[in-house]
């Protein structure tokens, strides 16, 4: 093995060689420069591989002495891990910087090399004073490089940085001196052997000063204003090195010192990390400048890494693998992502984040940016996800619930501003363009590939047993690569991919899983056919779509808690991509992401709380312990958020309605069932083990009932057809939750029955309206009308769907209502029965409103020539119509398998007698009802048909119009503000209180953020004062 | 068959022609006599009135529904829409403007349909006969079954008119709708002579 | 005596800090930083001092034999030497920043360099 | 099978004739209240014949054409799922196919079809009337639902036949006496259902000519009028079964439904019309509270 000393030798030698080579020619100098960095990275990789292969750790003593007097370099697995990462990113960053460096004199190159030397030295060295020297090497070269843009901002930022950095080094030096004075050695190994040397008064102070100095270097909130100025003003390439490689080295120093710290110190340090994480994210909300925003984000991530390793140490964990999994994972994630994002900001140039729409026309850059945002938010499959899971799991296992809560809150804020930014980039089209720059793009691609490779590595090390789960992101990426293909080809491929997933997965399922499998996979599959109806490229739909379908499969197949959460998050991500593609505004996808992530965090908190003590990552869902109650309630709350119950439904109308017309049906009919599936999976897991479940049932029931009511009520006021259907879905979800909360055989049968029928009829209605909208290019119902004349088939299917929705016999909808009321009255929940009945009566209002406004009434002049919707939209509708008719004729075909899957719960069973289903209170024979209905329908029809010859078919203006003729169809069609009288009578019930609440909450958080960021006055002296005060406060806490 | 013929609807601008039905009115032959007799009995005993009350004669219609005269005992009732009415009562003089509305309403009623002209004005223009704006003779424009003269006719006279109409219906003589269809072109020409700003289809289905 | 030196060091550090935190003039801030630096150096040297011993320089006065008993602890002195060099570099860099800043805005009041904030 | 079909025809014929006659009787009574002579009792039949005797008609399209079919199918269906006479095989209809919830929801079948048909007519007044009707319906559904729930609690069944069976014995075992609050709530809801004044804003003839059927004529209208008989009869029989002890003989049924209908008629001739928002607020006010009280009373 090559001695670690060569790592330093290579770069220092290059420091001297570069100016010489530069004399010969610019390109020679650059070549030597890159060769040295590449060599360093290569060495790191070589060591890492051999150390992983089992080679012993290397210790090198320089200057002919042995420790403690010599300069000792140690290269273990941890060091090599950091070295390889740091040097790789440094190499990539230097490539990004290439354009800027080539304009500078050779000094710039030497400064870069010195910086790298400092970084590597910090990682390798084992004694405090050497650390000081390398830190100064790093700092001074950084101070100089910050000034590279040569503008006023860069100079003042650099100067502020020097003041703060100077203070930090001062403290480090004082601390080092006192350590030497107390312990008589500066060598880490000796100090570690007898850490009690530092536990006295002076010793403590010495150690404190060292740690405080390191912490200042890591830019803790709020003593970090100077760093933010640097992030904003410095060249993104340089800044990316500071925040990734530089921070990484200092973090590693902190890691090396961890064993010296007392419990108290660790606690305070961990707290400081958490505070930094939460508040930096908070302040970032108001930030518009990309560099500074990335700065806040970097700082928060650093805080999280600090917290990660400190808490691990606090929990007494010594295995390096765990540190690698948590702190290493978080750091690696941060390293590549932040590198990527800073380089991207270099690429985009000096634009505030609102103007990042320039990326919208650049698929590769947008993809990279999206990847970075997703990875940084801690979503799967990236390392941050696995690391956070492990970290939070350990926090929960050790009872650090408040910390867990803070981390989740901070992450949520992070998700907010990152996805808002992604929204700006993806949705707002800007006519500016950015010129190609392969020197910047290539390192970004490399970073992305490395990040993905690391994801594979991390997911493997955390033993996700189910190989299918790995396919979820893989399918997404595959379909991203297939994007240049024509849309229809992609649809067929997506159908094939999803179909094969269904074929593989479904036979392995049973019981409720099978029912939901058929619903989610089958439902999506059928509706995906509609995609064939749209021409063009259809960019950005199929990666999300296929990923979503695979996530459905994953959700149902997985047997581990981690696997479930992984699939859940992938599903969220996939659906986010779909809505991002279709939405007209950035607001809807963002709202969806915030609420979904909030819900997912609740589920996450619940899952890790329920994990049995000492469990592995692969703990099965069946092993979860719900006896505490809290865990179960958290999980259910998470699913309720995802289901969009009243109070957290803010995201729902936009999400279900704004996607593409062939995607909305899947989101609204199939995806909404994923929350139901989750609800049922966990309710069956926990059934009987949760204390206080009666109260829980009642609360859940009322949540469901109120959701049904308010969803329905809001639906009747909508002017937008798709939004109306979206609110209708909310109402139907309310019924499902209400039925599920009954915890009885009939209740659950009702819930799943409603879920199945809702899938069918809402699929039909959304597809039908989608077909209409795709022809008319408007979703405002009052602009439509009379479509029955132009689109009779769409009308027919819509009508079937509508009858099924309204619950009118003889179609399937009635079965759901009947089961629901039976179960409710059987349980004794009379008020909820009445509420459900009222809601379903109100549902008639919006049913009529939409069918009248869209299909009936007056055909508008502009739409006299529109054609029937595409046949590809109609095929899935007719498939669903056929299913509805079959289930209506023989309800037994549907109810029996469902009740079999539900199994035996509390309450009476359903009894069958031929086609009559009955229970203690009532009975229903769907087949007879269907027959009778058809009979009584035929008799008058025959009579009317006998008179058909005398009847003249007339046109739309042949109406009685107070003896006048109608003026224009637009003024004759009654559609706008259809239920004005309902607003007058009950309008107070539909005031946007929920929106006001959430907007108020958002306003408050935003105001707090705005107030907090005034800490960063911009004055270097204030920053210095903040550093001093921070250290003082830290001392008071740690003492 | 002239039923299949379409009307040109020249009064309508090009883009509006598709909004109106352009079929000609048809003659609907009565059924076999004994059935028709029964049906005519029912028609006579269930006269639903569409009252066109812009003339002063309308004032005399109100008392018909009161306890004193009560025409509901004859099975008669007011009907707010021409679609469902079988008897159009023209309540007095017609101007150019109101004639247009009357024609539209009449055409929107279904065969068989009956017209009663109320007051002298419908017969010959009455006291307004020399106005620039009054229609003097209703049956140039619509087939009138019964005229009830007077200025104004009392409710008793109106009831007598109803009796007359019922008699006509029962006798099978009240075929105004078919007459209108048969001589459609003549009626239409007369109508268009008066109404110069014709912005309706030629036949208001 | 040692304590006096240490105390001097500490006083210098505090003086420097006070200077850094209160003076608005950039050059004075840099001077404050220098004072801190000096204070640290003095303090470090004082920690290695052993009474009645001489500087850890192996010359004729000390001789190689038994040098360990005649000289003070050499480590702090070595540290100080390195620290002085580093301090020099930092001070020089700070001053060059000051020059650059002054050329931009013709002012050396630190309050005038707060355009980056929040 | 054939016997059953025969029974069904008989049963439908009975309710049609009785329903239409009842309408005639009521018109006569209202006329007498006004001090008029009024139309003959058989006038509804004459009207139906007259309407079907129209020689021409117009149609706005398929849905318009099917609207009245839906309507009358809804009326007949509703009727066919209600047992007419207690203990009579002949007049039990298809009550074995579903319980009271089936009947409650089947009521909507015809209304929905009618609303759709008139919607295709393209007349704005039709849509306005439907909007009013639906709004009013959603409101009176609340006291009615509460009342039915109260009955379900009281009798521990949803089956209409069983509810009738439970009321046999003496007059005091009728729901009217055993559960007066539920009966009151249901009767108030029935006022809305029958669309008599004060809840006749839906068909307000002076304002939106006749409401949804504005464009209907001839056979279509005849069908709608026929349905009015059947549907009225069905609703009255349902109320009779649920609250007034059902009936064992046809005369008993006739007397009881007549009396029930008279409630609606009395209120109708005595009160002026509510606006839509007023009737919504009315139904969701006191009647709903009465319904809640009825449920709570039997709950406790």
pLDDT per position as a tens digit, A749-786: 999 999 999 999 999 999 999 999 999 999 999 999 99
Q: Quick check: is A949 in a domain?
A: no
pLDDT tens figures, A560-581: 888 899 999 999 999 999 998 8
CA pair distance A520, A550, nearest whole angstrom: 10
CA pair distance D15, D21, nearest whole angstrom: 10
Q: Quick check: is B39 in a domain?
A: no
CA pair distance A498, A492, nearest whole angstrom: 10
* Region A257-271 average pLDDT: 93
Domain count, chain B: 1
CA pair distance A950, A1009, nearest whole angstrom: 75
pLDDT tens figures, A838-884: 999 999 999 999 999 999 999 998 899 999 999 999 999 999 999 99
CA pair distance A163, C31, nearest whole angstrom: 12
**How big is the CA angle at B195 (ends A962 and A951), to the nearest 5 degrees?**
50
CA pair distance C42, C48, nearest whole angstrom: 10
Task: Tell me how far the alpha carbon of residue D214 is from its chain's centroid.
Answer: 21
Rounded to a whole number of angstroms, the distance from the CA of B16 to the nearest CA of chain A is: 9
Q: What is the pLDDT of residue A202?
A: 86
* Region A917-928 average pLDDT: 89
**Residues in chain A closer than 8 A to B52 (CB atoms):** 963
Q: What is the pLDDT of residue A68?
A: 59
**How big is the CA angle at A152 (ends A149 and A155), to the nearest 5 degrees?**
70
Segment holding D28, helix H or strand E:
helix D2-34
Q: Quick check: is C92 in a domain?
A: yes
Q: Do A947 and D219 touch (CB under 8 A)?
A: yes
pLDDT tens figures, D219-260: 999 999 999 999 999 999 999 999 999 899 999 999 999 999
The answer on pLDDT for A464 being more than 70 is no
**D contact set with B (CB within 8 A):** 27, 31, 34-40, 43, 46-47, 49-51, 53-58, 205-206, 209-210, 213-218, 221
CA pair distance A853, A970, nearest whole angstrom: 12
**Residues in chain C closer than 8 A to A228 (CB atoms):** 116
Q: Do D280 and A834 touch (CB under 8 A)?
A: no
- Structural domain boundaries, residue A750: 695-908
CA-nearest residue of chain B to A864? B18
CA pair distance A74, A7, nearest whole angstrom: 12
pLDDT band at A1004 (very low <50, low <70, confident <90, very high): very high
Q: Do A851 and D116 touch (CB under 8 A)?
A: yes
Query: What CATH number does residue C48 fall under?
Result: 1.10.287.3510
CA pair distance A570, A596, nearest whole angstrom: 11
List the single residue in A153, A158, A287 with the smallest CB-CB distance to C97.
A158
Q: Do A964 and B104 touch (CB under 8 A)?
A: yes
CA pair distance A220, A212, nearest whole angstrom: 10
CA-nearest residue of chain D to B68? D36
Q: Quick check: is B71 in a domain?
A: yes
Query: What CATH number does residue B178 fall under?
Result: 3.40.50.12280
B 129-148 residues inside an 8 A Cβ radius of D: none
Number of helices (H) and strands (E) in chain C: give both, helices first. 4, 0
* Region D256-282 average pLDDT: 91
Q: What is the pLDDT of residue B114?
A: 95
Q: Quick check: is B90 in a domain?
A: yes
Compute the 3-state secondary structure of chain B and give helix, strand, coil in percent, each to the nearest 5. Answer: 45, 10, 45
Q: Do A963 and B199 touch (CB under 8 A)?
A: no
Domain count, chain A: 1
Are C and B neighbours with ≥3 CB pairs closer than 8 A?
A: no
ipTM above 0.95, yes or no: no
The answer on pLDDT for A950 being more than 90 is no
CB neighbour class for D62 (10 Å; exposed up to 12, middle 13-18, buried from 19): middle
Phi first, then psi: give them for residue B88, nearest 5 degrees.
-100, 120
Q: What is the pLDDT of residue A741?
A: 92
HSE (side-chain half, CA atoms, 13 Å) at B94? 27
Task: Single out the residue of A260, A217, A243 nearest to residue A298, CA to CA.
Answer: A243
Q: Quick check: is A181 in a domain?
A: no
Helical pair A467-481 and A542-557, crossing angle rounded to 10 deg: 180
Q: Quick check: is C75 in a domain?
A: yes
Q: Do C94 and A1016 touch (CB under 8 A)?
A: no
| Cβ A579 vs Cβ A606: under 8 Å | no
**Residues in chain B closer than 8 A to D39 (CB atoms):** 72-75, 77
Q: Is D199 in the A-facing interface, judged by CB distances under 8 Å?
A: no
> 3-class DSSP state for residue D61?
coil
Q: Do A953 and B18 touch (CB under 8 A)?
A: no
Phi first, then psi: give them for residue C117, nearest 5 degrees.
-160, 180
| Cβ A940 vs Cβ A770: under 8 Å | no
pLDDT band at A66 (very low <50, low <70, confident <90, very high): low
Q: Is A210 in the C-facing interface, judged by CB distances under 8 Å?
A: no
| Cβ B28 vs Cβ D55: under 8 Å | yes
Q: What is the pLDDT of residue A214?
A: 94
pLDDT tens figures, D46-86: 999 999 999 999 999 999 999 999 999 999 999 999 999 98
Phi first, then psi: give them for residue D272, nearest 5 degrees.
-80, 180
What percent of chain D lies above the pLDDT cut of 70? Answer: 100
What's chain A's average pLDDT? 90
* Region A356-382 average pLDDT: 90
Q: What is the 3-state secondary structure (H, E, C) of A159-201?
A: HHHHHHHHHHHHHHHHHHHHHHHHHCCCEHHHHHHCHHHHHCH
The answer on pLDDT for A693 being more than 90 is no
Ramachandran quadrant class, A753 (left: phi over 0; alpha: psi -120 to 50; beta: rest):
alpha
| Cβ A667 vs Cβ A579: under 8 Å | yes
pLDDT band at D299 (very low <50, low <70, confident <90, very high): confident
- Structural domain boundaries, residue D24: 2-299
The residue among A963, A967, A969, A971 with the most chain B CBs within 10 A of its CB, best to mutate, is A963
Q: What is the pLDDT of residue C73?
A: 81
| Cβ A1030 vs Cβ A220: under 8 Å | yes
All partners of chain A with 3 or more CB pairs under 8 angstroms: B, C, D
- Structural domain boundaries, residue B65: 48-194
* A826-829, Cβ contacts within 8 angstroms, sequence gap of 24 or more: A826/A744, A826/A746, A826/A907, A826/A908, A826/A919, A826/A920, A826/A921, A827/A742, A827/A744, A827/A747, A827/A907, A828/D299, A829/A698, A829/A701, A829/A742
Query: Tokens standing for A380?
Result: 């799967």
List the single residue in B15, B82, B205 with the smallest CB-CB distance to A952.
B205
Rounded to a whole number of angstroms, the distance from the CA of A1010 to the nearest CA of chain B is: 59
Q: Do A922 and D158 touch (CB under 8 A)?
A: yes
Sign of CA dihedral B18, B20, B21, B25: negative
Q: Do D210 and B80 touch (CB under 8 A)?
A: yes
What's chain D's average pLDDT? 91
For residue C54, CA distances in Å to C65, C68, C79, D140 come to 14, 10, 17, 106
Q: What is the pLDDT of residue A941?
A: 92
Q: Do A1018 and C24 touch (CB under 8 A)?
A: no
Q: Do D47 and B75 touch (CB under 8 A)?
A: yes
CA pair distance A160, A166, nearest whole angstrom: 10
* Region A543-555 average pLDDT: 93
Q: What is the pLDDT of residue B4?
A: 58
Which are the contacts of C90, defined by CB distance < 8 A and separation ≥ 6? A136, A139, A140, A143, A162, A166, A169, C33, C37
List the single residue in C79, C90, C113 with the smallest CB-CB distance to A129.
C79
For residue B150, CA distances in Å to B116, B147, D180 come to 13, 10, 60
Q: Is B26 in the D-facing interface, judged by CB distances under 8 Å?
A: yes
Sign of CA dihedral A359, A362, A368, A374: positive
* Region C70-96 average pLDDT: 87
Domain count, chain C: 1
Which are the contacts of C85, defined by CB distance < 8 A and separation ≥ 6? none
Size of interface B-D (CB pairs under 8 A): 84
| Distance linking the first and last C-alpha atoms of chain B | 19
Q: What is the pLDDT of residue D195?
A: 84
The residue among D42, D217, D220, D225 with the most chain B CBs within 10 A of its CB, best to mutate, is D217
Q: Do D128 and A833 touch (CB under 8 A)?
A: no
Domain count, chain D: 1
Q: Quick check: is A710 in a domain?
A: yes
Task: Give chain B's residues under pLDDT 70.
Answer: 1-4
Q: Quick check: is C117 in a domain?
A: no
**Residues in chain D closer than 8 A to B66 (CB atoms):** 36
Q: What's the predicted TM-score (pTM) here?
A: 0.93
The answer on pLDDT for A504 being more than 60 is yes
Phi first, then psi: give them for residue A918, nearest 5 degrees.
-145, 165
Q: Quick check: is B60 in a domain?
A: yes
Residue with the two structure tokens 């800044």: A239
pLDDT tens figures, A329-366: 999 999 999 999 999 998 888 889 988 888 888 889 99
Q: Residue A879 carries which DSSP code?
A: H
* Region A78-92 average pLDDT: 94
For residue A699, CA distances in Å to A633, A649, A705, A829 come to 11, 17, 10, 12
Q: Do A177 and C40 touch (CB under 8 A)?
A: yes
**Residues in chain B closer than 8 A to A861 (CB atoms):** 15
The residue among D15, D92, D100, D105 with the most chain A CBs within 10 A of its CB, best to mutate, is D105
CA-nearest residue of chain A to C98? A159
pLDDT tens figures, A782-809: 999 999 999 999 999 999 999 999 999 8
**Residues in chain D closer than 8 A to A941 (CB atoms):** 66, 69
pLDDT band at D209 (very low <50, low <70, confident <90, very high): confident
Q: What is the pLDDT of residue A31?
A: 93
Segment holding B90, helix H or strand E:
strand B87-90
Q: What is the pLDDT of residue A431?
A: 65
Rounded to a whole number of angstroms, the distance from the CA of D32 to the nearest CA of chain A is: 32
Q: Do A965 and B102 touch (CB under 8 A)?
A: no
List the single residue in A140, A232, A1013 with the smallest CB-CB distance to C116.
A232
CA-nearest residue of chain C to A171? C40
CA pair distance A891, A894, nearest whole angstrom: 5
Q: Do B199 and A965 touch (CB under 8 A)?
A: yes
pLDDT tens figures, A124-159: 998 888 899 999 999 999 999 999 888 889 999 999
Task: Single out the residue of A308, A837, A360 nearest to residue D146, CA to CA.
Answer: A837
Q: Quick check: is B111 in a domain?
A: yes
pLDDT band at A833 (very low <50, low <70, confident <90, very high): very high
- Structural domain boundaries, residue C105: 2-112
For residue D53, CA distances in Å to A411, A519, B36 come to 76, 53, 9
Helical pair A152-183 and A1020-1038, crossing angle rounded to 10 deg: 30
Q: What is the pLDDT of residue A428?
A: 61
CA-nearest residue of chain C to A146? C97
Greatest C-alpha distance within chain D: 62
Query: Tokens standing for D255?
Result: 């007397």
Phi first, then psi: give them for residue A862, nearest 5 degrees.
-70, -15
Query: Helical H runs in chain B?
Result: 33-44, 96-108, 120-124, 155-170, 176-182, 184-194
CA-nearest residue of chain D to A813? D105
All partners of chain D with 3 or more CB pairs under 8 angstroms: A, B
The residue among A130, A170, A234 with the most chain C CBs within 10 A of its CB, best to mutate, is A170
* Region A208-235 average pLDDT: 92
Q: Is A956 in the B-facing interface, judged by CB distances under 8 Å?
A: yes
| Distance linking the first and last C-alpha atoms of chain D | 45
Q: Is C95 in the A-facing interface, judged by CB distances under 8 Å?
A: no
Q: Do D39 and B73 touch (CB under 8 A)?
A: yes
* Region D125-143 average pLDDT: 92
Q: What is the pLDDT of residue A161?
A: 93
Sign of CA dihedral A772, A778, A779, A783: negative
HSE (side-chain half, CA atoms, 13 Å) at B53? 12
């Amino acid at each position: 093995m090559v001695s670690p000393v060569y790592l330093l030798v290579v770069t220092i030698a290059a420091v001297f060689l570069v100016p010489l080579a530069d004399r010969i020619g610019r390109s020679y100098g650059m070549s030597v420069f890159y060769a040295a960095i590449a060599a360093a990275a290569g060495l790191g990789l070589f060591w890492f591989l051999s150390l992983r292969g089992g080679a012993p750790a290397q210790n090198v003593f320089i200057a002919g002495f042995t420790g403690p007097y010599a300069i000792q370099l140690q290269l273990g697995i941890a060091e090599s891990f950091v070295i390889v990462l740091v040097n790789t990113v440094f190499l990539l960053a230097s490539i990004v910087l290439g354009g800027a460096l080539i304009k500078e004199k050779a000094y710039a190159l030497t400064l870069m090399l010195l910086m790298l030397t400092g970084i590597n030295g910090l990682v390798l060295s084992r004694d405090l004073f050497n650390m000081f020297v390398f830190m100064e090497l790093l700092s001074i070269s950084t101070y100089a490089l910050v000034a590279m843009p040569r503008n006023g901002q860069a100079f003042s930022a650099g100067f502020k940085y020097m003041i703060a950095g100077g203070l930090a080094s001062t403290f480090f030096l004082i601390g080092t001196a006192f350590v030497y004075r107390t312990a008589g050695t500066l060598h880490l190994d000796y100090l570690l052997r007898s850490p009690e040397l530092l536990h006295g008064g002076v010793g403590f102070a010495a150690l404190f000063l060292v740690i405080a100095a390191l912490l200042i270097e890591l830019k803790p909130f709020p003593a970090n204003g100077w760093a933010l100025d640097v992030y904003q003003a410095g060249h993104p390439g340089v800044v990316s090195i500071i925040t990734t490689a530089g921070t990484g080295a200092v973090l590693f120093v902190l890691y090396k010192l961890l064993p010296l710290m007392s419990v108290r110190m660790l606690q305070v340090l961990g707290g400081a990390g958490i505070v930094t994480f939460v508040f930096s994210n908070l302040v970032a909300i108001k930030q518009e400048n990309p560099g500074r925003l990335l700065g806040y984000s970097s700082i928060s991530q650093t805080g999280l890494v600090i917290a990660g390793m400190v808490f691990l140490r606090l929990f007494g964990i010594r295995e390096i693998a765990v540190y690698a999994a948590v702190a290493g994972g978080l750091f690696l994630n941060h390293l590549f992502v932040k590198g990527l994002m800073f380089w991207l900001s270099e690429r985009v140039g000096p634009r505030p984040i609102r103007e990042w729409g320039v990326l919208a026309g650049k698929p590769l850059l947008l993809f990279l940016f999206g990847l970075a945002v997703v990875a940084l938010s801690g979503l799967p499959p990236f390392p941050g996800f696995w690391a956070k899971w492990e970290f939070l799991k350990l926090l929960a296992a050790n009872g650090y619930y408040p910390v867990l809560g803070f981390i989740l809150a901070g992450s949520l804020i992070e998700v907010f501003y990152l996805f808002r930014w992604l929204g700006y980039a993806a949705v707002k089209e800007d006519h500016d363009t950015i010129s190609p720059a392969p020197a910047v793009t290539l390192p970004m691609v490399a970073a992305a590939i490395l990040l993905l490779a690391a994801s594979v590595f991390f997911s493997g090390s955390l033993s996700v047993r189910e190989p299918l789960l790995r396919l979820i992101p893989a399918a997404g990426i595959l379909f991203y690569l297939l994007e240049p293909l024509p849309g229809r080809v992609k649809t067929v491929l997506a159908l094939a991919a999803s179909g094969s997933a269904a074929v593989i997965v479904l036979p392995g399922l049973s019981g409720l899983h099978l029912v939901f499998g058929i619903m989610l996979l089958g439902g999506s599959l059928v509706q995906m056919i509609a995609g064939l109806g749209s021409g063009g490229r259809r960019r950005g739909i199929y990666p999300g779509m296929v990923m979503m379908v695979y996530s459905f499969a994953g959700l149902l197949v997985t047997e581990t808690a981690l696997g479930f959460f992984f699939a859940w998050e992938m599903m969220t991500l996939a659906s986010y991509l779909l809505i991002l593609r279709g939405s007209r505004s950035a607001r809807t996808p963002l709202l969806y992401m915030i609420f979904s992530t909030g819900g997912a965090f609740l589920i996450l908190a619940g899952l890790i709380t329920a994990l049995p003590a000492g469990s592995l990552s692969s703990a099965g869902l069946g092993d979860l312990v719900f006896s505490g109650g809290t865990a179960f309630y958290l999980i259910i709350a998470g699913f309720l958020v995802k289901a969009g119950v009243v109070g957290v439904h803010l995201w729902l109308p936009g999400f279900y309605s704004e996607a593409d017309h062939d995607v909305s049906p899947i989101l609204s009919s199939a995806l909404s069932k994923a929350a139901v599936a989750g609800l049922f999976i966990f309710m069956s897991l926990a059934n009987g083990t949760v204390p206080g479940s009666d109260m829980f049932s009642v609360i859940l029931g009322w949540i469901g009932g109120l959701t049904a009511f308010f969803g329905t009520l809001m639906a009747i006021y909508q002017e937008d057809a798709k939004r109306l259907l979206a609110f209708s879905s909310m109402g139907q979800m309310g019924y499902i939750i209400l039925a599920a909360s009954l915890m009885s055989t009939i209740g659950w049968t009702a819930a799943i029955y409603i879920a199945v029928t809702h899938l069918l009829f809402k699929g039909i209605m959304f597809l039908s309206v989608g077909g209409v909208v795709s022809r008319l290019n408007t979703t405002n119902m009052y602009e439509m009308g009379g479509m029955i004349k132009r689109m009779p088939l769409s009308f027919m299917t819509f009508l079937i769907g509508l009858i099924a929705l309204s619950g009118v016999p003889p179609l399937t909808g009635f079965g759901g209502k009947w089961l629901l009321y039976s179960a409710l009255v059987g349980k004794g929940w009379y008020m909820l029965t009445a509420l459900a009945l009222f809601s379903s009566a109100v549902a008639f209002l919006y049913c009529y409103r939409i069918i009248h406004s869209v299909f009936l009434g007056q055909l508008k002049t502009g739409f006299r020539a529109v054609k029937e919707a595409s046949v590809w939209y109609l095929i899935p509708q007719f498939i669903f119509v056929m299913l509805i008719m079959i289930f209506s004729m023989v309800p037994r075909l549907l109810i029996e398998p469902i009740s079999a899957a539900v199994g035996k719960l509390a309450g009476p069973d359903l009894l069958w007698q031929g086609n009559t289903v009955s229970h203690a209170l009532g009975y229903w024979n769907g087949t007879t009802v269907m027959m009778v209905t058809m009979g009584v329908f035929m008799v008058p029809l025959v009579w009317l048909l006998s008179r058909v010859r005398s009847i003249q078919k007339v046109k739309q203006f042949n109406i009685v119009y107070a003896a006048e003729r109608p003026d224009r169809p637009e003024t004759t069609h009654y559609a706008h503000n259809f239920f004005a009288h309902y607003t007058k009578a009950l309008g107070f019930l539909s005031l946007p209180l929920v929106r006001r609440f959430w907007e108020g909450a958002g306003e408050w958080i935003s105001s707090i953020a705005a107030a907090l960021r005034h800490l960063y006055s911009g004055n270097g002296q204030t920053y210095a004062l903040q550093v001093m005060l921070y250290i003082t406060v830290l001392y008071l806490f740690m003492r | 068959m002239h039923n299949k013929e379409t009307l040109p609807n020249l009064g309508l601008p090009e883009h509006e022609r598709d909004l109106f039905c352009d079929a000609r009115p048809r003659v609907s032959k009565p059924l076999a006599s004994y059935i028709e007799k029964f049906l005519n009995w029912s028609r006579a005993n269930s006269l639903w009135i569409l009252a066109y009350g812009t003339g002063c004669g309308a004032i005399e219609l109100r008392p018909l529904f009161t306890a004193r005269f009560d025409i509901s005992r004859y099975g008669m009732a007011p009907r707010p829409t021409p679609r469902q009415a079988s008897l159009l009562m023209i309540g007095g003089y017609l101007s150019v403007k109101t004639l247009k509305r009357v024609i539209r309403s009449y055409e929107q009623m279904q065969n068989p349909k009956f017209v009663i002209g109320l007051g002298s004005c419908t017969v010959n223009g009455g006291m307004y006969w020399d106005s620039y704006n009054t229609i003097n003779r209703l049956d140039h424009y619509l087939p009138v079954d019964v005229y009830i003269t007077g200025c104004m006719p009392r409710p008793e006279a109106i009831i007598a008119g109803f009796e007359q109409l019922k008699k006509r219906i029962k006798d099978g003589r009240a075929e105004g709708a078919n007459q209108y269809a048969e001589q459609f072109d003549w009626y239409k020409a007369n109508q268009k002579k008066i109404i110069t700003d014709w912005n309706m289809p030629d036949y208001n289905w | 005596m040692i304590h006096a030196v240490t105390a001097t060091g500490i006083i210098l550090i505090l003086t420097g800090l006070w200077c850094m935190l209160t003076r608005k003039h950039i050059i004075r801030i840099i001077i404050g930083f220098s004072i801190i630096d000096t204070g640290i150096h003095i303090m470090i040297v004082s920690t290695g001092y052993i009474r009645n011993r001489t500087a850890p320089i192996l010359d004729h006065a000390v001789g190689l034999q038994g040098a360990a008993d005649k000289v003070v602890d050499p480590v702090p002195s070595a540290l100080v030497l390195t620290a002085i060099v580093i301090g020099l570099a930092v001070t020089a860099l700070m001053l060059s920043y000051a020059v650059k800043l002054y050329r931009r805005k013709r002012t050396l009041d630190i309050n005038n360099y707060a355009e980056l904030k929040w | 099978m054939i016997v059953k079909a025969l029974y069904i025809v008989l049963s439908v014929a009975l309710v049609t004739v009785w329903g239409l006659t009842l309408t005639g009787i009521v018109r006569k009574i209202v006329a007498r209240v006004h001090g008029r002579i009024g139309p003959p009792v058989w006038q509804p039949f004459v009207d139906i014949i007259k309407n079907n005797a129209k020689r021409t008609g117009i149609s706005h399209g398929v849905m318009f054409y099917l609207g009245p079919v839906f309507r009358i199918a809804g009326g007949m269906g509703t009727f066919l799922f209600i047992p007419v006479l207690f203990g009579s095989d002949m007049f039990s209809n298809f009550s074995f196919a579903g319980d009271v919830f089936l009947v409650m929801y089947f009521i909507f079948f015809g209304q929905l079809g009618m609303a759709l048909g008139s919607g295709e007519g393209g007349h704005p007044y039709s849509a306005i009337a439907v909007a009013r009707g639906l709004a009013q319906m959603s409101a009176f559904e609340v006291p009615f639902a509460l009342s039915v729930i109260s009955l379900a609690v009281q009798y521990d069944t949803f089956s209409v036949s069983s509810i009738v069976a439970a009321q046999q014995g003496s007059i005091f075992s009728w729901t009217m006496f055993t559960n007066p609050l539920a009966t009151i709530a249901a009767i108030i809801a029935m006022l809305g259902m029958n669309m008599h004044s004060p809840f006749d804003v839906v068909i307000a003839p002076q304002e939106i000519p006749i409401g949804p059927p504005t464009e209907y004529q001839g056979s279509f209208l005849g069908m709608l009028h026929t349905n009015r008989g059947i549907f009225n009869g069905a609703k009255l029989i349902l109320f009779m079964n649920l609250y007034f002890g059902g009936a064992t003989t046809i005369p008993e049924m006739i007397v009881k439904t007549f009396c029930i209908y008279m409630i609606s008629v009395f209120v109708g001739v005595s009160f002026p019309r509510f606006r839509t928002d007023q009737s919504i607020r009315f139904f969701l006010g006191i009647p709903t509270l009465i319904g809640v009280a009825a449920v709570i009373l039997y709950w406790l």
